[in-house]
Amino acid sequence: MGIANIIPGVSGGTIAVVFNIYGDLMEALGNFLTDKEYRWNHVTFLAILFGGAVISIVAFARLLSWAFDNYELMTVYFFMGLILGSIPVVIRSHSDMKINIRRSAGFLLGAALVVILALLQTDAGTQSRDFDPNSYGVLHYLYFLICGAVAASAMIVPGLSGSFVMILLGAYRTALDSISAITSFSLSDGISHEIKVRFMIVISILVGVIFGILGFAKLMSLALKHHHAFTMYIILGLIIGSFYQLFPGFSFDLNGAGAIVTFIIGLIISLKFGASDSTI
């Protein structure tokens, strides 16, 4: 699930379904605070699961950061293929996904939300590769905390990944680069101001993730239980609308040819992986 949530377009919730632990995950998240009889079992399950997720995120962060720095166009197109290939998973998540006016409205709402967020993103510090540690303050850390809280809901929504939500909010690259920087610095070199800022960014996101999981678990469980199709149409809108922000243009050269190849690879991987998914 950790690897899934660090790759845009691959859903940690879908991974949980494939490995048949989604029901256990929802039960543990929704009851570990109130169910005294099975609280220790729930806590142990969540600690092992999310411990493994954290380890994989740290292990893969540097690799993805390197890919963005050296092969940005091909990397983005690979993610676009993954995201596009996840659409059938969402469509198959419910036995009745026939379109109607209400569901169409949910789809348009999700798509409009993504486009509006993209249009409102004026702070380059949350999205650009150019990192100026002196430009970050309390409001930025609060923003990353909110990003972590919102992205956390994706961990319990099949078809939607946490990193996908971070992309929508413009915080993915900064979060990824911060994890990479923290795991690669040496204490012998001293703790620089940049490392301190990177550390605060990661801590802010982690705190947001914790609050987000606790706050959204019950809400998402109820939404999927009582309004599953409508909820999934909103998610479809989020996925389709994300291409407005993700599309990096195209280059008619070898780099562009490589981007087409990586797009196809991402699409095939996502489609093949989703083919083993079951109805939620």
- Mind listing the pLDDT tens digit for each residue in 2-30? 877 777 656 677 677 666 677 788 778 87
Q: Say if 279 falls within a structural domain.
A: no
Residue 137's pLDDT is what?
Answer: 86
Q: Say if 222 falls within a structural domain.
A: yes
Query: Cα 242 vs. chain centroid, distance in angstroms?
Result: 12
- Our count of domains for the chain comes to 1
Residue 202's pLDDT is what?
Answer: 92
Q: Say if 155 falls within a structural domain.
A: yes
Q: Which residues contact 162 (CB under 8 A, 6 or more apart)?
A: 5, 6, 12, 151, 152, 154, 155, 209
- Among 113, 127, 125, 3, which Cα is nearest to 72's? 127
- Among 128, 79, 129, which Cα is nearest to 259's? 79
Those residues of the chain that have pLDDT short of 70 are 8-11, 14, 17-20, 117-118, 120-131, 154-155, 158-160, 186-189, 221, 274-280
Q: Say if 46 falls within a structural domain.
A: yes
Residue 122's pLDDT is what?
Answer: 45
Residue 57's pLDDT is what?
Answer: 81
Residue 66's pLDDT is what?
Answer: 84
Q: Say if 116 falls within a structural domain.
A: yes
Q: Cα(31)–Cα(28) distance, rounded to whole angstroms?
A: 5
User: Could you tell me the pTM of the whole model?
Assistant: 0.66
Q: Cα(31)–Cα(34) distance, rounded to whole angstroms?
A: 5
Ramachandran angles phi, psi of 237, nearest 5°: -60, -40
Residue 77's pLDDT is what?
Answer: 92
DSSP notation for 150-195 = HHHGGGGSTT--HHHHHHHTT-HHHHHHHHHHHHH--GGG---HHH
Decide if 267 contacts 82 (C-beta within 8 A): yes
What residue type is assigned to position 280 of the chain?
I
What residue type is assigned to position 100 of the chain?
N
Query: Cα 267 vs. chain centroid, distance in angstroms?
Result: 17
State the burial class of residue 234 (Cβ atoms within 10 Å of its Cβ: 0-12, 13-18, 19+).
buried
Residue 123's pLDDT is what?
Answer: 45
Q: Say if 280 falls within a structural domain.
A: no
Residue 38's pLDDT is what?
Answer: 86
Ramachandran class of 249: left when φ > 0, alpha when ψ lies in -120 to 50, beta otherwise: left
Q: Which domain holds residue 227?
A: 2-274
Q: Cα(85)–Cα(268) distance, rounded to whole angstroms?
A: 7
